[in-house]
Amino acid sequence: MAEPMIKAQNLTRMFGDFTAVDHISFEVGKGEIFGFLGANGAGKTTAMRMLTGLLVPTEGEATVAGYDVYTQAERIKKQIGYMSQKFSLYADLTVRENIRLYGGIYGLSDRLIKEKTNDLIAMLGMQELQDQKIGSLPLGWKQKLAFSVALIHEPQIVFLDEPTGGVDPITRRQFWEQIYKVADEGTTVFVTTHYMDEAEYCDRVSIMVDGRIDALDTPSGLKQKYEAEDIEEVFITLARGAQRAE
């Protein structure tokens, strides 16, 4: 791998005597789409919080975009984008206001924000919706916009936490095409999902069980190794072995 954008070595996080993330090691390359799977409670969220500079690890090493998670968390935050289905945009601000808010948070100049806002609205074909409040838009639109806003400061890595929950199958696929596009342009994509067919859209997939990464390979490599028809079968084989009582 040319230049790893994410590098984790024995990354660990304890809460009291509970090991939420247990010595995980992996690398994610530039422009790679990396699927981060695991059952509820396997430790995905804790791992993501460490990689996004929100939580200090108990043990182990990690760098994100070349910055150390212990000492350079603020630099990491400037280099990454984040989007979650649970929270992303402000419902009572308009499309334009949301873009401006995020542009401002990431320290873009007023001129650049204006330029980006117009580009973004044109690219998404949202001209007629630009002065509507986000809360009134269909979920599919919100998600497409949230994704673009997460990329407004041209981050090197974007973290997507269950980005496609609840949308219709066509919109879900349009969303994935947006992901392919930015990955093709060199952005690294780190994504979690409960849709197992989406795992197949990733370049490589890791599966977390009880805080560990129990499998990490290309989707076809995983299917071969576990003699499975699809990733769902691989996932169920691995996650069934979980000891942790949620």
Partner 1 sequence: MKPIRVQNLVKEYGNIEAVKNISFEVEDGELFGLIGPDGAGKTTIFRILTTLLKPDSGNASVLGKDVIDEYKKIRPVVGYMPGRFSLYQDLSVEENLTFFASVFGTTIDENYELVKPIYSQLEPFKNRMAGDLSGGMKQKLALSCALIHKPKVLFLDEPTTGVDAVSRKEFWQMLHRLKDEGISILVSTPYMDEAEQCDRIALIQEGKILSIETPSDITDHFEKQLWAIKTDNKYRLIQVLRGFEYSDSVQPFGEFVHYTDQRDDFSVSELEEYLQAHELQGLEINKAKPGIEDTFMRLMEQEGNHG
Nearer to partner 1, 112 or 196 (CB): 196
Q: Any contact of residue 245 with partner 1 (CB under 8 A)?
A: yes
Kindly state the helix (H) or strand (E) to which residue 177 belongs, with its residue range. Answer: helix 169-184
Q: Any contact of residue 61 with partner 1 (CB under 8 A)?
A: no
Instruction: Tell the residue number behind the tokens 């990464």, with chain if given.
Output: 213
Whole-angstrom distance, CA of residue 140 vs CA of residue 167: 6
Stretch that binds partner 1, among 49-57, 74-82, 149-157, 235-243 (CB under 8 A): 235-243
Q: Any contact of residue 3 with partner 1 (CB under 8 A)?
A: no
Structure tokens at 133: 């409040």
Q: Which of 4, 38, 43, 81 binds partner 1 (CB under 8 A)?
A: 38
Structure tokens at 188: 């690294």
Q: Tell how far CA 140 is from the center of its chain.
A: 17
State in angstroms the smallest separation of the CB of 82 from partner 1.
18
Three-class DSSP category at 96: helix
State in angstroms the smallest separation of the CB of 59 from partner 1.
24
Whole-angstrom distance, CA of residue 16 vs CA of residue 36: 25
Q: Any contact of residue 45 with partner 1 (CB under 8 A)?
A: no
What residues from 85 to 114 belong to the interface with partner 1 (CB under 8 A)? none
Three-class DSSP category at 3: coil
Asked if 21 contacts 211 with a C-beta cutoff of 8 angstroms, the reply is: yes
What residues from 154 to 183 belong to the interface with partner 1 (CB under 8 A)? 162, 165-171, 173-174, 176-177, 180-181, 183
Instruction: Please report the DSSP string for 74-132 in residue order.
Output: HHHHHHEEEEESSS-S-TTSBHHHHHHHHHHHTT--HHHHHHHHHHHHHHHT-GGGTTS
State in angstroms the smallest separation of the CB of 35 from partner 1.
12
Q: Any contact of residue 201 with partner 1 (CB under 8 A)?
A: yes
Q: Which residues bind partner 1 (CB under 8 A)?
A: 38-41, 138-141, 162, 165-171, 173-174, 176-177, 180-181, 183-184, 194-197, 200-201, 219-220, 230-232, 235-236, 239-240, 242, 245-246
